[in-house]
Amino acid sequence: MTDAILVLNVGSSSLKFALYADEATPSVALLRGKIAGIGSHPIFSARDDHNLALQQTEGMRLTTGSTLDDIIPALLDWLKRHRGGVNIIAAGHRVVHGGRNHTGPAKVTEALLDELATLVPLAPLHQPHNLQAIRAVCSFLPTLPQVACFDTSFHRTQDRLAQLFALPRTLTDAGIIRYGFHGLSYDYIASRLPHYLGAKADARVVMAHLGNGASMCAMKARQSVATSMGFTALDGLMMGQRCGSIDPGVLLYLLDGLDMTTQELKHLLYEESGLLGVSGISNDMAILQSSPAPEALEAIELFCYRAACELAALCTTIGGLDAIVFTAGIGENSALVRRLICDHLAWMGVALDGHANERNEHQISSTTSTVDVMVIPTNEEMTIACATHRVTTQQVKRCRSQVQ
């Protein structure tokens, strides 16, 4: 029997899952998969460690309207059948918001769940689903140790100035600060940087996590110094459906001048803006890239212009730039987006090797570039597996020392 950690990364309409051997640094997932379309038409897919597709079984037949409470027990049952030689000893979850106190992963307890529930208004698209998944595992396997791994923790190394808004102190004290997100992805990239950059890994690096949600993080000594997302995951870069940074006067005008309700405004900001809003076609970069519509091109150009401006601003926080890392769906796969962003940064000495960029190679900067430009695939699930191993083994050690 191999002891394994189950990793669950639950979004608003999808659930990514993976099994990793319970080791400090497992090399590959024993199995990984996804259930997309939760709440509408769920679609299941999974692959083993040889990348072979695994079949859905009778018990896993998901129907329209299946919720996480139905899906998680069915998934746990499916995992038991498909990995007969595997003993799940803990579950690690992605939890988007850990507030200002959690600087690392935490063992799940009732008190922790209550605390994390208070943060739901700060991450309404993700936090409720993250917590629902933990509770669903708890009902099916009540004694299984669970660990919450926060997207905000990685940024708690930032100086106070980088976390402040220019608001009255009472609001800062009430927790209205810049938290930052995508920390599990940045943590993974930070752990891989020495492999790709050698000694430069500890220099001035800006990581660009460009997926459906998008943000950037400026790092020194592989620690977060500043990031583009703030109080919520709405801030910073233009995204698939979110507008990113916006003049707050626009919001006041929409509410008072155009009589929008707060619900309508929330929907506009989280669901109808960004690539989707500007193009009027799709939130999906690959679809926009293949569209002949001028609105699609304008949306891509705005995305890249805004990303380049944000990247240049982040350089101020680390006193210059030695390397850029592109990651996530768009960052790893879109040569066009990387080229358009880097074209805006030519004045800083950023230059791409066009062929390497087209082939999505790891090093895509040219030999004349003063900045290394890299493409490094992210792996948030691996970060969660390692963190879960750390927390649960410490727990076991603590129990043992109490017994002795």
Tokens encoding 243? 């507008």
Question: How many CA atoms within 13 Å lie on the side-chain side of 372?
Answer: 20
Q: Which is nearer to ligand ADP, 197 or 285 (CB)?
A: 285
Is 289 a binding residue for ligand ADP by CB under 6 A? The answer is yes
φ, ψ dihedrals at 71, nearest 5°? -70, -40
Is 7 a binding residue for ligand ADP by CB under 6 A? The answer is no
Is 211 a binding residue for ligand ADP by CB under 6 A? The answer is yes
Out of 48, 70, 284, 358, name the contact with ligand ADP by CB under 6 A.
284
Q: Which is nearer to ligand ADP, 90 or 214 (CB)?
A: 214
Q: Is 343 a catalytic residue?
A: no
Is 240 a binding residue for ligand ADP by CB under 6 A? The answer is yes
Size of the site for ligand ADP (CB under 6 A): 13
Do the beta carbons of residue 23 and residue 372 sit within 8 Å? no
Do the beta carbons of residue 179 and residue 151 sit within 8 Å? no
Residue 87 annotated as binding? no
Catalytic-role residue among 151, 187, 235, 372: 151
- Maximum distance among all alpha carbons in the chain? 71
Residue 266 annotated as binding? no
* Closest C-alpha to 213, from 231, 237, 179: 237
CA dihedral 336, 212, 346, 310 (to 10 degrees): 160
Stretch near ligand ADP under the rule CB under 6 A, chosen from 71-79, 200-208, 216-224, 329-337: 329-337
Out of 4, 285, 311, 375, name the contact with ligand ADP by CB under 6 A.
285
Out of 130, 334, 365, 369, name the contact with ligand ADP by CB under 6 A.
334
d(CA 209, CA 197): 18
Out of 43, 167, 171, 286, name the contact with ligand ADP by CB under 6 A.
286
> What's the distance, CA 297 to chain centroid?
26
Residue 397 annotated as binding? no
Do the beta carbons of residue 12 and residue 128 sit within 8 Å? no
d(CA 138, CA 72): 10
d(CA 308, CA 296): 19
Is 272 a binding residue for ligand ADP by CB under 6 A? The answer is no
Q: Which amino acid is at 53?
A: A
Out of 19, 229, 234, 328, name the contact with ligand ADP by CB under 6 A.
328
**Using CB under 6 A as the criterion, which residues of the chain lie in contact with ligand ADP when the complex forms?**
211-213, 240, 284-286, 289, 328-330, 333-334
Q: Which amino acids are annotated as binding site, given as ranges?
A: 9, 16, 94, 209-213, 329-333, 380
Q: Which amino acids are annotated as binding site for ATP, given as ranges?
A: 16, 209-213, 329-333
